[in-house]
């Protein structure tokens, strides 16, 4: 790795680890102290490494400096030191130093505890996602704003409000008990699912940022799998779903950044290693008697990694959508189902089902109807595509709709 990229890369990978360990030690009410110490550590690296050169073991250097800065802070603030000493069950005697444990095990434990803290339902879903990107993933405010297609001020306020709510509720950063896992895992998985979706379905043109968001969602989900207490079928199903979707990431856009529809994707760009991993985790998810939306969506995503346009493929996808809608109805899932229905039962049947949905504020609804009516009633198809064009917001979506309109007008 080039020297110019080393520190930014270390910031992304190590900032979150150090912050998690210090938050785990200090408690959520002192999260800003943990962030300040960690930021000061990286500031010191920026200043010293440019003068003295990069140390032999940069990560170890960061950990040592973080430990020393923490100890110095504790010495400067006696009341804080005593409070932390009591909380971590150390004798508050000044001669006895509090250990700042940056071992792999404690980093893992700290990050796991932080996942359950950040995903506390006291905050809204979008606040949880912003907080997760910032604390658990090490994304800066500007990066998060770019991902959400908003400005820094909005994200800054959103994250600060989320932190304050956690403090006011006195949420504890601790290893989740089995009962807490049962009660809170569903919310954690929802947050990780939405976090992944934020990267995968974002209309942001920053492909690298979007990939990084997806990768972080996968990393956090894998942390749950590495812990025996949270290595459960729904977690494996969610990671399977993420692997299948990520496998087609590079095929979803062309060189101009425009969306490539599924039927036009170059399958040679699909990542076979991720497809194999997705299949592995889907197999691990198939134990026990729990069926979640993640199982069904992973099954649908699996069949989308099978390029052949067979009747069996689309029948399987249709049946999985049928189960998904019974388990957890959503208009978008119902809309997607009609595409599979067109493949299995023909366009006329799909049109009847699609028009029942009446998603008149959704450009995908009109785009689908435009596609279904093409070659059946091209005048109606054109009307639907023109409505879709009026509702679409992203340049990429508008370009696809314009292409369809152009074909019909030939």
Q: What value does the mean pLDDT take over residues 359-374? A: 95
Q: Which DSSP string corresponds to 322-371?
A: HHHHHHS--HHHHHHHHHHHHHHH-HHHHHHHHHHH--TT-HHHHHHHHH
347 pLDDT higher than 90: yes
* Weakest-pLDDT range from 85-99, 290-304, 316-330, 382-396: 85-99
How far CA 171 is from CA of 17, 23, 69, 123, 165, in Å, comes to 20, 12, 26, 12, 9
User: Residue 359 to residues 51, 249, 354, 368, 397: CA-CA distances in angstroms?
Assistant: 60, 27, 9, 11, 17
How does residue 3 score in pLDDT terms, banded at 50, 70 and 90? low
For 246, the enclosing helix (H) or strand (E) is: helix 233-247
- pLDDT band of residue 86 (cuts 50, 70, 90) is low
Mean pLDDT (the chain, rounded): 91
Confidence of residue 31 (pLDDT cuts 50, 70, 90): very high
Give helix 378-391 / helix 363-373 axis angle, nearest 10°: 160
The pLDDT assigned to 94 comes to 43
Q: Across the strands, what pairs with 253?
A: 259
Half-sphere exposure of 169 (CA within 13 A, CB side): 15
| Residue 105, SS3 per DSSP | helix
Please report the sign of the dihedral spanned by the C-alpha atoms of residue 231, residue 232, residue 238, residue 244. positive
pLDDT tens digits for range 172-209: 999 999 998 999 999 999 999 999 999 998 877 788 88
Q: Distances from the Cα of 19 to the Cαs of 23, 82, 135, 163, 209, in angstroms?
A: 6, 20, 7, 14, 21
Q: Are 279 and 260 in contact (CB under 8 A)?
A: no
Residue 93 — pLDDT band, cuts 50, 70, 90?
very low
C-alpha radius of gyration, the chain, whole number:
25
CA distances to 63, 105, 160, 386 from 112, rounded to whole Å, are: 19, 11, 21, 48
Quote the tokens at residue 279: 């299949």
Q: What is the pLDDT of residue 82?
A: 62
pLDDT of 260: 85
Q: What percent of the chain has pLDDT over 90?
A: 76
Reported pTM: 0.91
Question: In terms of C-beta density within 10 A (0-12 exposed, 13-18 middle, 19 or more buried), how is residue 172 classed?
Answer: exposed
Which residues 6+ apart lie within 8 Å of 217 measured at CB? 192, 193, 195, 196, 199, 242
Convert the pLDDT of each residue in 220-254 to its tens digit.
999 999 999 999 999 999 999 999 999 999 999 88
Conformation bin of residue 276: beta by default, left when phi > 0, alpha when psi is -120 to 50: alpha
pLDDT at residue 205, as a whole number: 77
Structure tokens at 142: 């500007």
Handedness of CA 78, 79, 85, 88 (dihedral sign): negative
User: Which positions ≥6 away from 119 have C-beta within 8 Å?
Assistant: 128, 132, 184, 187, 188, 191, 192
């Amino acid at each position: 790795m080039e020297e110019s990229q080393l520190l930014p890369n270390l910031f992304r990978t190590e900032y979150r680890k150090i912050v998690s360990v210090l938050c785990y030690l200090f408690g959520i009410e002192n999260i800003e102290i943990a962030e300040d110490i960690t930021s000061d550590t990286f500031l010191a690296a920026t200043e010293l490494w440019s003068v003295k050169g990069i140390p032999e073991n940069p990560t170890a250097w960061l950990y040592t400096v973080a430990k020393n800065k923490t100890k110095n802070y504790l010495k400067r603030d006696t009341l804080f030191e005593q409070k932390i000493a009591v909380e971590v069950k150390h004798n508050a005697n000044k001669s006895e130093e509090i250990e700042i444990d940056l071992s792999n095990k404690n980093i893992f434990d700290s990050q796991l505890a932080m996942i359950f803290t950040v995903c506390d339902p006291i905050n809204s879903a979008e606040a949880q996602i912003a907080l997760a990107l910032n604390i658990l993933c090490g994304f800066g405010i500007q990066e998060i704003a770019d991902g959400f297609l908003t400005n820094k001020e909005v994200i800054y306020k959103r994250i600060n409000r989320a932190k304050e709510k956690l403090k006011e509720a006195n949420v504890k950063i601790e290893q989740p008990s089995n009962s807490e896992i049962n009660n809170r895992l569903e919310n954690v998985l929802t947050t990780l699912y939405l976090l992944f979706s934020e990267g995968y379905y974002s209309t942001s043109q920053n492909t690298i940022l979007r990939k990084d968001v997806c990768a972080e969602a996968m990393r956090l989900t894998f942390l749950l799998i590495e812990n025996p207490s949270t290595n459960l079928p729904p977690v494996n199903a969610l990671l399977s779903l993420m692997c299948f979707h990520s496998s087609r990431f590079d095929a979803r856009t062309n060189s101009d950044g425009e969306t490539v529809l599924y039927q036009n994707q170059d399958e040679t760009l699909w990542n076979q290693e991720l497809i194999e991993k997705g299949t592995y985790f889907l197999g691990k998810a198939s134990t026990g008697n729990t069926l979640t939306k993640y199982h069904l969506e992973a099954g649908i995503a699996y069949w989308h990694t099978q390029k052949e346009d067979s009747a069996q493929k689309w029948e399987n996808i249709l049946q999985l959508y049928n189960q998904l809608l019974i388990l957890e109805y959503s208009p978008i899932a119902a809309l997607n189902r009609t595409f599979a229905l067109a493949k299995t039962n023909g366009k006329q049947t799909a049109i009847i089902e699609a028009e029942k949905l009446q998603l008149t504020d959704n450009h995908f609804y009109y785009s689908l109807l435009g596609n279904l009516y093409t070659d059946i009633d091209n005048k109606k198809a054109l009307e639907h595509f023109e409505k879709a064009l009026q509702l679409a917001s992203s340049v990429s979506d508008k370009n696809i709709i314009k292409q369809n309109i152009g074909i019909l007008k030939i």
